[in-house]
Amino acid sequence: MSSEQILPSVGVLGLGMMGASLAAALTQRGYHVYGYDTHQASLLEAEQIGLIASPLSPNATELVSGDVFIIAIPVLAVANYSALIHQLLQRGVIVTDICSTKGYLATLFAGSPGSENLVLGHPIAGSERSGVVNANASLFEEQSVILTPLEDTTAAALTVVRKLWHQIGAKTAVMTVAEHDQILAATSHLPHFLAFSLVDTLAGDAQNRKIFQYAAGGFRDFTRIAASDSRMWHDIAQTNQAALLQALDGAIEGFSALRAMIAEGDSNKLMGVLTRSKVARDHFGAVLQQRSYRQYKVDSMDFIAKAGGRVVGDIRVPGDKSMSHRSIMLGALADGVTHVSGFLEGEDALATLQAFRDMGVVIEGPERGEVVIHGVGIDGLAPPPSALYVGNSGTTIRLLSGLLSGQQFSTEMSGDSSLAKRPMRRVTVPLAEMGAAISTAEDGTPPVRIAQAEKGLQGIHYELPIASAQVKSALLLAGLYAKGTTTVIEPAPTRDHTERMLRGFGYPVETNGDTISLVGGGRLTACDIDVPADISSSAFFLVAAAITPGSDLWLRHVGVNPTRIGVINILRAMGANISIKNERNVGGEPVADLHIQYAPLKGIDIPEDQVPLAIDEFPVLFVAAACAEGKTVLTGAEELRVKESDRIQVMADGLQALGVNAVATPDGMIIHGGAIGGGEVVSHDDHRIAMAFSVASLRANDDIVIRDCENVATSFPNFVELCASVGKTIEIEKHG
């Protein structure tokens, strides 16, 4: 390389499809590329169509220190060139490769003179096609390349190879040779050999003509890779033998188990394999496609809530989050099969669902809100293979803290950065009193670790220091496993879905004023659950209609449990025109249609007894207050400071940024209604903050940009679409 500004020259050894594609991409980016291939026609063709600048001489004398030599031939053939490669390394040429196994090359060259210039690599890209004719200059764009530097590889050499890949649009990651070979054996080598074997077996069948004639899309998809380059795959099998054998043994074990399930007609076990693998494929499919998935959060998303709009229509918001969580938990512990409809397919409820799948429960769906849970019985959960990841969901981690305290195995639960800050002692302290072996991080936050309770759990009589349905529910769920009676006394009524649903599953729960108790040791019987629309999600639309002149909206099949209707009570006290129609009882829960028409709002002092009944609705109620005439005062709501964000501070900051007179107090807020301006606010990864400011834009005089809105999917996956359907526009801006 003659000067730092000038790109290094590159020599490519092997002009098969992969080498030729790489040569083409580098040539396009301005590299001077020399090529070499024993197959003269390929070399000529590559030169003629401009994939390479010229052929590389046998001793590669064109390449000088700092230039790059890329090995792109089947891995076992590399030994034929080892003299040349040793020479290049000693000359200071940086040598890299694109072979699929790394261990073999590492043994050939590690520790030899010049090996500090060796940067082994492997692009996770390819095609079943071969040869120069199939060269594709964009093959590596957006693809990952694994680099496996050796112990003595210099940082400078690594940087040169990294840059080279980045310049042709690929992303690089670094791992050890052993790690690479192990991972690739499972994710790449095994599926290829399964495809080779399947096609070979079927082709050898006497009926092969018919079989291939009627082979459908599934066969095509599964066997596409069986047409891959034979020499290359031969070499992979020889050079990654141990890891490949391990992967094959795992697969053979899986086949044998599956064979037994089919032979025995074990429908439950079979459904377990099918549902678990579907979920895993969907999950990893999202990762593979670089889409956002909570556990592997790659995309962040901003909302641009356009100023103005209106709210007219007739809609049903997604299912109640609290009930969706509980339907999975109790369905899993029940004897028999529970059918759930109206299930919320939001990230939080899905985290609960996944946790139970991880503990061996067979769960079909969700499919358009339908879930079928094959209950394992109160004592049928199995230890999960690893720590449970519960994302953003406080309800999951707290309720499961209780439920898992009663199991005969250890578990650990952790979540995202928001959940990692939330207080857990409120559940772990009383659970420890019941005998649970439960612990948290030093500051009382997740991860929560639970070991088997040595002497089992003992019922307690516990006065809740805070009004919290999550704490109450955690204790009741632990109480199912406790000796004797577990009694919880509430300082104020909180949502009672756990009690109602337990009764629906045939488990006696006694409620006497503020005192709730149950006796451990009973069993649950499967039942059908119809989850109504979530009043907490409806709240965004109730406020939207309440603050926008001309609006007229129906919200259908909403859960109107008296412990949840604080938002209706508060809005009505502010002057909102809300009617509750068609009240009915659905599986022990009151349900109704809500009709709301615009009416001017006035500020009020929010009665403290309404706080637990509207605990999740305050972000959007603050928006209602900002649009009301006069002053609204909230007190007694310090709990808001420990939700997905500090909802008092975050809302006060956001409202102030939009020009609203909002002052945070230790336990609430004072808001003077007035004009709302446009501007930028931050959701702090809190779904309800993001949606509340989206609603505020209906009355804003300019657009509101809301940062970090990806967590809206935790409770309300189709929020933006439903807004659009009633006349409120929100644009989405994604960031990688």
Ligand X SMILES: O=C(O)C1=C[C@@H](OP(=O)(O)O)[C@@H](O)[C@H](O)C1
Q: Which residues bind ligand PEP (CB under 6 A)?
A: 348, 393-395, 616, 643-644, 688, 715
Residue 361 in contact with residue 335, Cβ under 8 Å? no
Look at residue 473 and give the partner it binds from ligand PEP, ligand X, none, a contact being a CB closer than 5 to 8 Å depending on partner kind: ligand X
Of 393 and 694, CB closest to ligand PEP: 393
Of 530 and 616, CB closest to ligand PEP: 616
Who contacts 116 (Cβ-Cβ below 8 Å, separation ≥6)? 152, 153, 154, 157
Q: Which of 168, 162, 167, 166 is nearest to 149 (CA)?
A: 162
Minimum distance from residue 644 beta carbon to ligand PEP (Å) = 5
Minimum distance from residue 470 beta carbon to ligand PEP (Å) = 6
Strand arrangement, sheet containing 388-389: 388-389, 411-414, 448-451, 437-439
Query: Which residues would be at the binding site for ligand X (CB under 6 A)?
Result: 322, 395, 468-470, 473, 495, 615-616, 639
Look at residue 551 and give the partner it binds from ligand X, ligand PEP, none, a contact being a CB closer than 5 to 8 Å depending on partner kind: none
Of 415 and 520, CB closest to ligand PEP: 415
Minimum distance from residue 208 beta carbon to ligand X (Å) = 57
d(CA 204, CA 191): 20
Look at residue 644 and give the partner it binds from ligand X, ligand PEP, none, a contact being a CB closer than 5 to 8 Å depending on partner kind: ligand PEP
CA distances to 195, 278, 311, 384, 548 from 282, in Å: 21, 6, 35, 20, 40
Who contacts 580 (Cβ-Cβ below 8 Å, separation ≥6)? 560, 568, 592, 593, 594
Look at residue 97 and give the partner it binds from ligand X, ligand PEP, none, a contact being a CB closer than 5 to 8 Å depending on partner kind: none
Minimum distance from residue 395 beta carbon to ligand PEP (Å) = 3
Residue 148 in contact with residue 102, Cβ under 8 Å? yes
Cis ω before 366 (30° cut-off from 0): yes
d(CA 340, CA 243): 43
Q: Which of 616, 646, 685, 686 is catalytic?
A: 616
Instruction: Determine the angle formed by the axes of helices 321-333 and 469-479, rounding to 10 degrees.
Output: 10
d(CA 378, CA 333): 4
CA distances to 137, 587, 668, 722 from 651, in Å: 50, 36, 11, 23
Minimum distance from residue 715 beta carbon to ligand X (Å) = 8
Of 240 and 393, CB closest to ligand PEP: 393
Q: Which helix (H) or strand (E) holds 401?
A: helix 394-405
129 is in an annotated binding site: no
468 is in an annotated binding site: yes
Nearest residue to the partner ligand PEP, using Cβ = 394
643 is in an annotated binding site: yes
CA distances to 97, 165, 427 from 102, in Å: 9, 18, 49
Look at residue 393 and give the partner it binds from ligand PEP, ligand X, none, a contact being a CB closer than 5 to 8 Å depending on partner kind: ligand PEP
Residue 470 in contact with residue 502, Cβ under 8 Å? no
Of 150 and 390, CB closest to ligand PEP: 390
322 is in an annotated binding site: yes
Minimum distance from residue 393 beta carbon to ligand X (Å) = 9
Look at residue 593 and give the partner it binds from ligand PEP, ligand X, none, a contact being a CB closer than 5 to 8 Å depending on partner kind: none
Minimum distance from residue 193 beta carbon to ligand X (Å) = 47
d(CA 669, CA 72): 66
97 is in an annotated binding site: no
Look at residue 499 and give the partner it binds from ligand X, ligand PEP, none, a contact being a CB closer than 5 to 8 Å depending on partner kind: none
Q: Show the beta-strand stretches assigned E in 157-228.
A: 171-174
Q: How far is CA 121 from the centre of its chain?
A: 29
171 is in an annotated binding site: no
259 is in an annotated binding site: no
Residue 541 in contact with residue 318, Cβ under 8 Å? no
Beta bridge partners of 732: 303
Look at residue 469 and give the partner it binds from ligand X, ligand PEP, none, a contact being a CB closer than 5 to 8 Å depending on partner kind: ligand X
Who contacts 645 (Cβ-Cβ below 8 Å, separation ≥6)? 418, 683, 684, 685, 686, 689
Phi, psi of 336 (to 5 degrees): 105, -175
Of 395 and 683, CB closest to ligand PEP: 395
Of 45 and 534, CB closest to ligand X: 534
Who contacts 423 (Cβ-Cβ below 8 Å, separation ≥6)? 444, 445, 642
d(CA 470, CA 348): 14
- Sign for the CA dihedral angle at 712, 637, 403, 473 comes to negative
Minimum distance from residue 510 beta carbon to ligand X (Å) = 19
HEC string of 687-727? HHHHHHHHHHHHHECCCEEEECCHHHHHCCCCHHHHHHHHC
715 is in an annotated binding site: no
3-class DSSP state for residue 339?
A: strand
Of 275 and 470, CB closest to ligand X: 470
321 is in an annotated binding site: yes
Of 51 and 419, CB closest to ligand PEP: 419
Look at residue 192 and give the partner it binds from ligand X, ligand PEP, none, a contact being a CB closer than 5 to 8 Å depending on partner kind: none
Minimum distance from residue 692 beta carbon to ligand X (Å) = 14
Please confirm, yes or no, whether 616 is among the known catalytic residues. yes
- Catalytic residue numbers, as ranges: 616
Binding residues, as ranges, are: 321-322, 326, 394, 422, 468, 470, 616, 643, 647, 688
Residues of each annotated binding site for 3-phosphoshikimate: 321-322, 326, 468, 470, 616, 643
